[in-house]
A and B are shown apart, each in its own frame.
Chain A
Amino acid sequence: MKLKKYLALTRAGIMETLQFRLSFVVMVIGNLLYLIVVYFLWDAIYESAGTDVVNGMTFTDTLIYLVLATALFNFMEMYAVWEIGRNIQSGKIVLDLLKPMEYRKYLFWSYSGSFVTQFFLTFLPTFIAVALVTHGAIPMGINLLYFVLSVVMAVSINYSIDFIVGTICLYTESIWGINIMKQVIVLLLSGATIPLAFFPDTLRTVVNYLPFQSIYNAPLTLLLDGAPTAETVLTTLGTQLIWCIAMMIVSKLFWKVSLRQITVNGG
């Protein structure tokens, strides 16, 4: 019964996204342009490298990885920071705080509807297109199950990070700079813009200890690795789970402390 009130938010979210048909067209065109740039950029990189395999990845590998990363980004990115920031600035947050629901959950479930729509309308078509075009370069097996599990946790980690950054807006009352910074850091260190295999060794070691790589690198690695060993699967999913829980706790506590600060000092 408890779940019902959350699913109601999901439902409303789906309906709300579907209201704006045109935005899909715009998004698809924007993505196509981005992917064309990516194609020529990496084409040039491989051309100048002079070999077919760079850092253990062929041109096709890299491209598949990046196309799927973009698709993943489209459905995972929820711009929660903008939303929190805007709500704080406009004072609308007061209305949200007065819902009989934790704000963290309220916001997440409000967004969940757009996850569902974006998954079906952008990620899935891209995925199928890539699978068809590359004639089975994406292995279809148990790895799909790992991938789904991994994406669910990635969504949660991504949201927690967004929420933490959004909470910072309570103090700064400005959102733009913080949000851009967050976006750049997450996209770079998560392997969404450049596959982690291309990172220098030291940086890669550091990145492996950070939560960001659990967002894009982990699910994509599980998906594209044809025959992952049980060990790889367990460590990847295990690391994700740990980050998932850790970030959830941190974001929850940080929000609680911050909100107390606000209720004491006013906003």
Chain B
Amino acid sequence: MSAIIEIKNVSKEFKVLNRREGLKGSLKDLFSRDYKTVKAVDNISMTIEQGEIVGYLGPNGAGKSTTIKMMTGVLEPTSGEILVGGNVPYQNRTKNAQEIGVVFGQRSQLWWALPLVESFKLLKDIYQIPDEKYESILKLYRSLVDIEPLLHKPVRQMSLGQRTLSDILAAFLHDPKIVFLDEPTIGLDVSMKAKIRTLIHALNKEKNTTVILTTHDMGDVDALCRRIVIIDKGKMLYDNDIEHLKGFFGSYRTLKLRIDGDMQEQAKHIQKELPEFSVSADDEWISVLVDEEKAKVIDVLGKLQHSYNIRDMQLEEISTEEVIKKIYEEGVQ
């Protein structure tokens, strides 16, 4: 294992014109030199190893795209150092381009009017992929997905799912060391999402390609990423394993109960009995958020069984989605 991406104390500032309100303000803006500096990315450091799949998460406008653009060499960091495969990306964009593949979920790099196979041939020449390598990767693709019907279909006639799939295949075509996937599953149906996840997973396994994945779909994260990085307002909030994340707010589990009698009333009783946990109730369930460091769920259940007639129960893990939501909303304490 060796580091493929090294980011050290990287910041990126943008100058934005201060806009004024109204027509008069707009006219004034024409001559204004009144800029304010916005920190899109603030002192981020991370090291990514060859072959990792890293989930890069954050709310909209957190600075994810800016970071990715810096890694691909489209933007130059204001301060700090970035090394991608030993290159400084913005100084060596063309060379760096040979080593990376990119998929932006919203846009396609394929030739709109041409059948997919023509786009592949074109990319083969542009990236100067040798014949035997090209053949072997096509063979791999054939074993992973059913691409025959796609190959001779013009890209403009494809469904969004087919197009995304094609775009991902195109990004992996020149066997890059790193592939950046920016919201690859956006707008896709459940089965297509699953297909795309399997494909990404298989390509990562097969080619040992490093994958940087930004997404808002926690299903992607759960299915693909071992490690996740969360940023918000340009600052790094979290960089660790996904298992670790679940224990991030203590090891919480939600115990859900259905009890005879009025739920709201009973919930108040239970709260009195268990003052250390938060108890809430809706029409169907009473939820007890159990901190497993203080008491075992089974003990709590045993205690309650003595005094209440429990008709039904459920035990819920706190989901990645909930944790991420909590982090976005509250930040890290």
A95 at the interface (CB under 8 A from B): yes
Contacts of B75 in A (CB 8 A): 263, 266
Q: What distance in Å separates the Cβ of B118 from its nearest Cβ neighbour in chain A?
A: 6
The complex places the Cα of A63 from the Cα of B128 at a distance, in Å, of: 48
In residues 89-143 of chain B, which contact A (Cβ within 8 Å)? 90, 93-95, 97-98, 100, 102, 104, 107, 109, 111-114, 118-119, 121-122, 124-128
Q: Is B94 in contact with A102, judged by CB distance below 8 angstroms? A: yes
Nearest CB in chain A to that of B35: its residue: A265
Q: Is A263 in contact with B118, judged by CB distance below 8 angstroms? A: no
A90 at the interface (CB under 8 A from B): yes
Known contacts A8-B122, A19-B114; A100 and B74 CB within 8 A of each other: no
Q: Is A95 in contact with B114, judged by CB distance below 8 angstroms? A: no
Q: Is B125 in contact with A98, judged by CB distance below 8 angstroms? A: no
Give 1 or 0 for each of A205-222: 1 = CB within 8 Å of chain B CB. 000000000000000000
Of A7, A16, A265, A266, the contact of B111 (CB 8 Å cutoff): A16
Q: What distance in Å separates the Cβ of B146 from its nearest Cβ neighbour in chain A?
A: 25
In residues 7-49 of chain A, which contact B (Cβ within 8 Å)? 7-9, 11-12, 15-16, 19-20
Interface secondary structure of A, over-half rule:
helix
The complex places the Cα of A12 from the Cα of B117 at a distance, in Å, of: 11
Q: What distance in Å separates the Cβ of A7 from its nearest Cβ neighbour in chain B?
A: 8
B48 at the interface (CB under 8 A from A): no
Nearest CB in chain B to that of A263: its residue: B76
Contacts of B72 in A (CB 8 A): 94, 98
Q: Is B121 in contact with A8, judged by CB distance below 8 angstroms? A: yes
Contacts of A1 in B (CB 8 A): 128
Contacts of A16 in B (CB 8 A): 111-114
In residues 68-109 of chain A, which contact B (Cβ within 8 Å)? 90-92, 94-95, 97-102
Nearest CB in chain B to that of A260: its residue: B76
In residues 100-151 of chain A, which contact B (Cβ within 8 Å)? 100-102
Q: Is B121 in contact with A15, judged by CB distance below 8 angstroms? A: no
B15 at the interface (CB under 8 A from A): yes
In residues 53-79 of chain B, which contact A (Cβ within 8 Å)? 66, 69, 72-76, 78
Contacts of B119 in A (CB 8 A): 12
Q: Is A95 in contact with B104, judged by CB distance below 8 angstroms? A: yes
Of A5, A97, A265, A266, the contact of B128 (CB 8 Å cutoff): A5
Contacts of B327 in A (CB 8 A): none
Contacts of B112 in A (CB 8 A): 16
B14 at the interface (CB under 8 A from A): yes
Q: Is B114 in contact with A100, judged by CB distance below 8 angstroms? A: no
Q: Is B97 in contact with A98, judged by CB distance below 8 angstroms? A: yes
B255 at the interface (CB under 8 A from A): no
Of B14, B15, B66, B102, the contact of A98 (CB 8 Å cutoff): B102
Interface secondary structure of B, over-half rule:
mixed
The complex places the Cα of A20 from the Cα of B114 at a distance, in Å, of: 11
Q: What distance in Å separates the Cβ of B136 from its nearest Cβ neighbour in chain A?
A: 20
Q: How many residue pairs between the two chains, A and B, have CB atoms under 8 Å in the bound complex?
A: 78
Contacts of A265 in B (CB 8 A): 14-15
B211 at the interface (CB under 8 A from A): no
Give 1 or 0 for each of A244-267: 1 = CB within 8 Å of chain B CB. 000000000000000010011110
The complex places the Cα of A265 from the Cα of B109 at a distance, in Å, of: 25
Contacts of B107 in A (CB 8 A): 90-92, 95
Known contacts A15-B114, A99-B97; A5 and B125 CB within 8 A of each other: yes
Known contacts A94-B69, A101-B126, A266-B14; A12 and B94 CB within 8 A of each other: no
The complex places the Cα of A237 from the Cα of B115 at a distance, in Å, of: 41
Nearest CB in chain B to that of A92: its residue: B107
Contacts of A12 in B (CB 8 A): 111, 114, 118-119, 122
The complex places the Cα of A95 from the Cα of B94 at a distance, in Å, of: 12
Nearest CB in chain A to that of B126: its residue: A5
Contacts of A5 in B (CB 8 A): 125-126, 128
Give 1 or 0 for each of B30-54: 1 = CB within 8 Å of chain A CB. 0000000000100000000000000
The complex places the Cα of A9 from the Cα of B74 at a distance, in Å, of: 23
Q: Is B125 in contact with A4, judged by CB distance below 8 angstroms? A: yes
The complex places the Cα of A1 from the Cα of B126 at a distance, in Å, of: 11
Q: Is A266 in contact with B40, judged by CB distance below 8 angstroms? A: yes
Q: Is B102 in contact with A9, judged by CB distance below 8 angstroms? A: no
The complex places the Cα of A8 from the Cα of B124 at a distance, in Å, of: 9
Q: What distance in Å separates the Cβ of A13 from its nearest Cβ neighbour in chain B?
A: 9
Q: Select the residue from A1, A100, A102, A265 with max chain B CB neighbours within 10 A.
A: A100
Nearest CB in chain B to that of A13: its residue: B111
Given A8-B126, A12-B122, A16-B112, 9 additional A-B pairs, CB 8 A: A8-B122, A12-B111, A16-B111, A19-B154, A97-B74, A98-B73, A99-B97, A100-B95, A100-B127
Can you list 17 A-B pairs with a CB-CB distance of less than 8 A? A5-B128, A7-B125, A8-B122, A8-B126, A9-B126, A20-B113, A94-B69, A95-B107, A98-B93, A99-B97, A100-B126, A101-B94, A260-B76, A263-B76, A265-B15, A266-B14, A266-B75
4 tightest CB-CB pairs across the interface, nearest first?
Answer: A8-B125, A100-B97, A19-B113, A263-B76
